[in-house]
Amino acid sequence: MTGKEILLRALKCEATPRVPWVPFVGVHGGALIGVDAKDYLESTEHIVSGLKASAKRYRPDGLPVVFDLQLEAEVLGCQLAWAQETPPAVISHPLDAGYAIKALPTLSVEKGRLPLALQAIRETKKELGEEIALYGLLTGPLTLALHLRGDDVLLDMFDEEEGVVALLDYCAEIANQMVDAYLDAGIDVIAVVDPMISQIGPSHFTDWVAPRLDEVFSYVRKKGALSSLFVCGNATRNLAAMCATQCDNISVDENVDLAELAKVARAAGKSFGGNLQLTKILLLGDEADAKREVVRCLDQAGDGGGFILAPGCDLPYAVKPENLEAVAALVHDPYLIEVARNLPPKDSTDTFDDIPIPDYAAENQVLVDIVTLDSAGCAPCAYMLKAAQKAADEYGGTIDVREHKITTRDGLAYMAKLGVTAIPSICVDGRERFASIIPQRKELVACYQTAAAAK
Amino acid sequence: MNDPLQQLIEAIKVGNRKIAATATQTALDSGSSGKEVLGALSEGMDDVGKRFKANEIFVPEVLVAARAMKKSMELLEPILVKSGIKPEHTLVIGTVKGDLHDIGKNLVAMMMKGANFNVIDLGTNLPAQTILDAAIEHKADLVGLSALLTTTMPAMRETVALMNKEPHPFKIIVGGAPITQDFADDIGADGFAIDAASTVELARTLVTSS
C-alpha cells in the first residue's frame, strides 16, 4: 500500500497499517532549496523543487502544494506585503469602505499567481502524485472575508448583518471556484484553511461560518474528492461545531488538546489530524524533542484510527529539517516509536548516581555493553545482541557481553553515561562503537581484539 | 435601570454603542463627574475582559464592546481634559519588525484604554529603535511588544535586547500566538500575558510594583 493510499484511507476513517504523515511544507520548501519565501511562492519551478526535496527528506504520505492564504485575496484586489521567510500578508482591504462586492475583480485561473500554483500542482502530480496525496489549500470563507473587508467583518456581525451574509456567501462561491480549479489540476484532498475560526465562539461559527463551509464541503463531496478543515489557533471551543460540518477531516494546531479532538471527531465519524508543536519543538527543539512529540501526538490520538500526524499549521521557513526527518523516521518504523517512548524527559536532571558503571580501564576483561530497547521484543536489538555474542565466541578471549534495556533504569543509566546516540548500540569498553547498524562479525571481532590489546 | 452609569456599564458589556453614547451624555448632564463616568467605562471593560479570559465571549464581542467604549470616550474626553484628569500610566505598543499582523495588538490596546491607560499605538512592523525612541519620548511606564509569527520572534528578542542595553524606567511586556513565558523570560522581558485580558492584569501589577 502506498503512502498516498494509507493517507486516503485514514482520511475516510478506514483501517491503516500505520499512521500517515503530512508535513505542511509551505515556505519551508524555499529554505530547502535556498530561495526566500517570495521567490518560492512566485515560481512553479521552485515550488516543485521544494516539494521534491521535502518528499525525499521527509517521506510524507501527503503534501500541500501551495500553503499561501493570500492567493485568492491577491486576485480579488488586496495588496500584499512580502517578507523573506513568511507568506505574504494582506495590507489593504478592497471592501474597507463598504460591501461593494460586485465591484471586486472576478476570480479567474488566469489571474495573479493562480496559473503558477495550478501548474505547480500539475507538475507535482506528475513527479510525486503516484505515491503522495496532494492537498489543495484554499482560503476559508471567514478568513477571506477578513482579507477583503478587514476586522470590521467581526463588528458588522452585530449591526451590518446583510453585508456580512452577502460577503460570506461570496467567499464560499470563490472557494468552490478554487475547488474546481484544484480538482481539475489533480488535487486529491481539498483543505479549507480558516484560521480566523479560532477567534470566534461557537454561536458565531454555527450561525455565520458553518453554513458557508458546508457549501464548500458538500460541493467537494459531490465532485468525489475528500475535504479537510484546517484551523490554526485555539479552536477548542468550536471543535464540536466544526465536527458537525460536512468535511471528512479536521486538522488543528498545538493549542488544541488532541485527546479531546480525538474524542469529539471519532464520535462524529470524522478523521482528524495535528498537532506537532511548531515553535517549541520543530523550530527551536532538537531531534529528541521531535521524537517525544510524535509519541505525545500518537498517544493522545489513541487507538481507533482516522488519525493523520501533521504539524499544527504551516511549517516555519527555518524549521530544522533534521527534526522533521526524525518525525519521518518514527512514522516509518514502529520500533523507533518504542525507543522514543523510553527517552528520558527533556528536563530530566537525573544523573543516575545509584547505578555506577565500571571503571573500564581498570578491568582485565573486555566489557561489551549492548544498549537495547529489549532484545525479547525488538528484532534489531535481538540481532545486534546475537551478533555481539557470536563475535565474542569467535574472539575467544576474556570478554563479557551484557545487555542493558532502556525500558529499565539500568538501561537508561548506561545510555546516558556512555553517550549512546542510537538504539540499539554496541559499546566496547565504555565507548560507543556501532550505533544502530549491526556490524559484520569480522569487524566486531577486530574491535574486541583492539580493545584487549589496549589493556 | 434608571441610573445612567449603570446603563453605561451594561451597554459596554454588550457592546451597544448607541446606548453607551446616550448613557454617557445623560450621566454627564445629570451631574456625574468625568471620573465617575470613566469608572463606569472601566467597570464595563473589566467585565468584558474577565468573560474573554474565561472563554465566555470571543474577539468579535470584545471588539464591539471596545467600539461602544470609543463612542463614550468621544463624549467624555473633552470633560476629562477640562478637569485635568489624565491616565496615570502610559503604554507604548506595537508589533515587532517583520510582523504585520495586528489584531492581537489592537485588542490589547483597546483593553488597556478601557483600563484607563494612556495608549500610544505605534502600529506594525516596527524597528527596535523606533519603539525605544517612542518609549522615551512618551515617558512610557510600559512597552508592549507583539508577534504573531514564529519568524518574527527573533525580532522581538532583538528589540528587548536593545532596550535592556541601557537602564530604563519602563517595563517590557510581550505577547502573541507563538510567545510563551519561557521565551519571555529568556529574552529578558518583564512580563508575558496569554491574552488581552490578562495583559491588563499584568500591566496593573507591573505599574503598581514599580
Contact list, B151 vs chain A (CB under 8 Å): 83, 85-86, 316-318
Task: Tell me, yes or no, if B175 comes closer than 8 A to chain A by beta carbon.
Answer: no
pLDDT at residue A279, rounded to an integer: 79
Contact A196, A168 (CB under 8 A): no
Chain A, nearest residue to B98 by Cα:
A83
In chain B, which residue's Cα lies nearest the Cα of A199?
A: B59
pLDDT at B1: 59
d(CA A306, CA A6): 10
Q: CATH topology for B4-83?
A: 1.10.1240
Same domain, A268 and A405: no
Q: Identify the top-confidence range among A7-21, A332-346, B89-103.
A: A7-21
Is the pLDDT confidence value at A44 over 90? yes
Transcribe B65-106 into DSSP letters.
HHHHHHHHHHHHHHHHHHHT---S-EEEEEEBTT----HHHH
* Min Cα–Cα distance to chain B from A215, Å: 24
Residue B33 has pLDDT above 70, yes or no: yes
Phi/psi of residue A312, each to 5°? -65, -30
pLDDT per position as a tens digit, A24-41: 999 999 999 999 999 999
Contacts of B63 in chain A (CB under 8 A): 151, 154-155
Q: What is the length of chain A?
A: 455
The closest alpha carbon to A426, from A446, A395, A410, A403, belongs to A403
Across A76-90, A160-174, B67-81, the highest mean pLDDT is recorded for A160-174
Residues of chain B with CATH 3.40.50.280: 90-209
- The DSSP symbol for A10 reads H
Q: In this complex, do A89 and B101 lie within 8 Å of one another by their Cβ atoms? A: yes
A317 with B151: Cβ contact below 8 A = yes
> In chain A, pLDDT over 70 holds for what percent of residues?
100
> Hey, are the CB atoms on A155 and B177 less than 8 Å from each other?
no
The listed CATH number (3.40.640.10, 3.30.70.920, 3.40.50.280, 3.20.20.80) that belongs to domain B90-209: 3.40.50.280
- Residue A3, min C-alpha distance to chain B (Å): 30
State the smallest CA–CA distance between residue B64 and chain A in angstroms.
6
How long, in residues, is chain B?
Answer: 210
CA-to-CA distance for A28 and A314, rounded, in angstroms?
8
Tens digits of per-residue pLDDT, B132-157? 999 999 999 999 999 887 778 888 99
Is A317 within 8 Å of B57 when comparing Cβ atoms? no
Q: How confident is the model over B177-201, as a mean pLDDT?
A: 89
Residues A167 and A271 in one domain: yes
Cell, residue B105: 495588538
Q: Name the segment(s) of chain B with CATH classification 1.10.1240.10.
A: 4-83
Cβ contact A199–B98 (<8 Å) = no
Mean pLDDT of A279-303: 92
CA B112 – CA B204 distance, rounded (Å): 10
CA atoms within 13 A on the CB side of A261: 33
Note whether A199 contacts B55, CB cutoff 8 Å.
no
The H or E element that residue A441 is part of is helix A441-453
Nearest to A242 by CA among A221, A219, A220, A273: A273
> Cβ of B151 and A85 within 8 Å?
yes
A254 in a structural domain? yes
Q: Is B54 on the interface with A (CB under 8 A)?
A: no
Which three three-digit cell numbers place residue A180? 474546481
Of A89, A237, A283, the CB nearest to B150: A283
Say whether B101 and A237 touch across the interface (CB within 8 A). Answer: no
Contact residues on chain B for A237, CB-CB shorter than 8 A: 55, 58
Sequence-ordered list of residues with C-beta below 8 angstroms from that of A334, at least 6 positions apart, any chain = A18
Q: Answer yes or no: do A376 and A405 share one domain.
A: yes
Burial class from Cβ neighbours inside 10 Å (0-12, 13-18, 19+) for residue B141 reads buried
Give domain status of residue A350, yes or no.
no
Q: Is B141 helix (H, G, I), strand (E, B) or coil?
A: coil
Nearest to B21 by CA among B35, B31, B7: B7
Nearest CA in chain B to A90: B100
Mean pLDDT of A333-361: 87
Is residue A298 located within the same domain as residue A439? no
Provide the pLDDT for residue B210. Answer: 64
pLDDT in tens, A228-279: 999 988 888 899 999 999 999 999 988 899 999 999 999 999 999 999 998 7
∠A400-A406-A409 over CA atoms, to 5°?
90
Strand, coil or helix: B127: coil
pLDDT category of residue A198 using cuts at 50, 70 and 90? confident
Residue A124 lies in a domain: yes
From the number of C-beta atoms within 10 Å of its C-beta (0-12, 13-18, 19+), residue A6 rates as buried
Whether B163 has a pLDDT exceeding 70, the answer reads yes
Q: What is the DSSP string of A321-346?
A: HHHHHHHHHHHT-HHHHHHHHTSPPT
Q: Mark whether A119 and A164 lie in a shared domain.
A: yes
Mean of the per-residue pLDDT values of chain A:
94
Report yes or no: A113 and A41 within 8 Å, Cβ to Cβ: yes
Short-list A78, A145, A150, CA closest to A113: A78
pLDDT value at B209 more than 90: no
Checking if the pLDDT of B99 tops 90, the result is no
Alpha-carbon distance A40 to A44, whole Å? Answer: 8
Q: Yes or no: say if A4 and A61 are a contact pair by the CB < 8 Å rule.
A: yes
Nearest residue on chain A to B101, alpha-carbon basis: A89
Min distance B153 CA to chain A CA atoms (Å): 10
Check if the beta carbon of residue B200 is closer than 8 Å to that of residue B116: no
Contact B87, B35 (CB under 8 A): no
What is the CATH classification number for the domain harbouring A376? Answer: 3.40.30.10
Shared domain check, A144 and A26:
yes
**What are the chain A neighbours of B180 within 8 Å (beta carbons)?**
279-280
Q: Tell me whether residue A132 is in a domain.
A: yes
For residue A307, the enclosing domain spans 3-341
- Into how many domains does chain A fold? 2
Mean pLDDT value of segment A408-427: 89
Closest CA to A263 of A234, A295, A304, A297: A304
SS3 (DSSP) at A138: strand
Partners of A189 in the β-ladder = A135, A226
B61 touches chain A (CB under 8 A): yes
Strand-pair category, A431-435 with A425-428: antiparallel
Residue A89's pLDDT is: 87
> Which residues on chain B are in Cβ contact (under 8 Å) with A154?
59-60, 63-64
Instruction: Pick the closest to residue A26 from A52, A62, A53, A64 (CA basis).
Output: A64
Mean pLDDT throughout A168-192? Answer: 98
Q: How far is A39 from chain B (nearest CA, A)?
A: 17
Q: Is the pLDDT of residue B53 over 90?
A: no
Q: What is the CATH number of the domain that holds A272?
A: 3.20.20.210
* A262/A371 same-domain check: no
**For residue B90, which phi and psi values (nearest 5 degrees)?**
-120, 135
Chain A closest CA to B84's CA: distance in Å? 33
Which grid cell is B47? 467585565
Q: Chain A interface residues facing chain B, Cβ-Cβ under 8 Å?
A: 81, 83, 85-86, 89, 91, 151, 154-155, 157-158, 199-201, 204, 233, 237, 278-280, 283, 316-318
